[in-house]
A = this chain, B = another copy of it.
Amino acid sequence: MARVAVAGATGFAGALCAAIVNGHPSLQLTAVTARSDAGRRHDDLYPRYGVGLELEEFDADRIAERADAALVAYPHGAAALVVKALLERGLKVVDLSADFRLDRELYERYYQPHEAPELLDGAVYGLTELHRDEVRDADLVAAPGCYPTAALLALAPLRDVMADVIVDAKSGVSGAGRDATRTTHFVSVAENVTAYKVDGHRHRAELEQELGSEVPVTFTPHLLPLDQGLLASCYVTPREALTVEQVRDMFEEAYADEPFVELADAPPGVRDVRDTNRCRIHVTVEPATGRVLSFAAIDNLWKGAAGQAVQDLNLMLGLPETEGLA
C-alpha cells in the first residue's frame, strides 16, 4: 500500500482526488490538507465522498513522514512551491495545476513568472495516452487541463493531417472552481450558455505545445448549465481529402489499447461518462465540406482532473493503470 497525501483537498478536483485515493485498493490516503477549513472533517464538506479524515494545514515535513506520494490541487502559481517542497522530501508528485504543464517560455507568456523553473525539465505532461512511458519514469507529473485533455484526445490521431483546427468547448460549472462569484451564481448559469475568454483562454497554451505551433488553433470555451462534464467539438480542415473510413481507422489504431478511450458510433454526451475516467469520442467527415468533425466527452473532474491524476500516479507507482478508477 503506497501512502498518499492530497494537498488542497477542498476544491472540487482535490476533494475528488481524496475520494478516489480513499477507495483505491492499493493506495492509502494518509493526509488531506486545506488552506482554510483546517480542523474540519473532509466528509463534513463533501458528505457524498465519505472521506473521514480531518483536514490539516499544509506542512511538508509532516506530510513527508506519512506519505510516499502526493496529489497537489492548488491554484496555479501557488502550486509550484508546494510541489517543490514535497519533491525535495522524496515524494512522487502529481500536480493538477498549470505550473508544470508547459515549458518556461510558454508558461510565462500565458501565466506569470515561474516559482520553480528548475523543476520544469523533469516534469512530464501527464496525458497518459500521449506520454505513457515518460509518466512511468517521472517523479513529477503535471495533470493536463480539462479542456486540453478532451481536445487533445479528440485531435491527437489527426495531428499529422491537420491544416487548421477549431475547438468549440463546452464545460460544466465545476470546471470554474469552488469560488462563489457572479459567474458561478446559480442564477447566472441556469437557463444560460455563453462563450468566455474568447480573446485567449490559457488552456490554449497546452494545445499549442502538444499539437505543434505550426497549426493555427482556434479555441473557444463555453459555460453550460450543468455540473460535471466537458465536451470538445473539434472542426479540422484536413490537408488532403479523407474518407470517413480512413479517419475512423486512424482513431481505432491510435486508441486500440487505451483503457479509458472509447470510440462511439454517435456523438457522445457528457452524461455517458459522468463520474467515470473515460473519454468517449465520435469522429466523422462532414459530407458537404469534407471537414473532419471530432467530438470528445469527458467528466472534467475525472479524466479532466482527479481521475487522470490518479491514472498518472498508478503508472508512477508501478500499479495497474486502471486500478481504483473502474
Chain A interface residues toward B at CB < 8 A: 12, 23, 47-48, 50, 164, 166, 168, 170, 172-174, 178, 180-182, 184-196, 198-200, 204, 216-218, 220, 222, 224-229, 231, 233, 235, 237, 262, 264, 267-276, 278, 280, 282, 284, 286-289, 291, 293, 295, 297, 326
Residues of chain B within 8 A of A194, CB atoms compared: 231, 267-270, 297
Selected contact of A200 from candidates B185, B235, B287, CB within 8 Å = B287
Check if A47 sits within 8 Å of B264, measured CB to CB: yes
Selected contact of A198 from candidates B182, B189, B227, B286, CB within 8 Å = B286
A-B contact pairs, 23 of them (CB 8 A): A23-B326, A47-B264, A50-B278, A168-B168, A170-B193, A173-B187, A180-B184, A185-B185, A186-B186, A186-B188, A186-B189, A190-B226, A191-B228, A192-B226, A193-B224, A198-B286, A199-B284, A199-B286, A200-B287, A200-B288, A216-B289, A220-B233, A222-B231
Residues of chain B within 8 A of A216, CB atoms compared: 288-289, 291
Cα A265 to Cα B191 with chains together (Å): 21
Q: So how many copies of this chain end up in the complex?
A: 4
Check if A224 sits within 8 Å of B227, measured CB to CB: no
- Among the interface residues A48, A174, A204, which one has the most CB atoms of the partner chain B within 10 A? A48
- What's the minimum C-beta distance from A211 to chain B, rounded to whole angstroms? 13
Cα A222 to Cα B235 with chains together (Å): 14
- What's the minimum C-beta distance from A27 to chain B, rounded to whole angstroms? 15
Check if B271 sits within 8 Å of A48, measured CB to CB: yes
Selected contact of A174 from candidates B47, B187, B226, B288, CB within 8 Å = B187
Selected contact of A195 from candidates B181, B204, B233, B287, CB within 8 Å = B233
Check if A276 sits within 8 Å of B48, measured CB to CB: yes
Residues of chain B within 8 A of A229, CB atoms compared: 191-193
Cα A190 to Cα B291 with chains together (Å): 30
Residues of chain B within 8 A of A196, CB atoms compared: 267
Q: Top 7 A-B pairs ranked by shortest CB distance?
A: A194-B269, A47-B272, A192-B271, A168-B168, A195-B267, A180-B180, A173-B186
Residues of chain B within 8 A of A172, CB atoms compared: 191
Residues of chain B within 8 A of A226, CB atoms compared: 190-193, 225
| Given A192-B229, A225-B186, A233-B222, A170 contacting B173 (CB threshold 8 A) | no
- What's the minimum C-beta distance from A203 to chain B, rounded to whole angstroms? 13
Residues of chain B within 8 A of A180, CB atoms compared: 180-182, 184-185
Query: Which residue of chain B is the closest to A237 with respect to CB atoms?
Result: B164
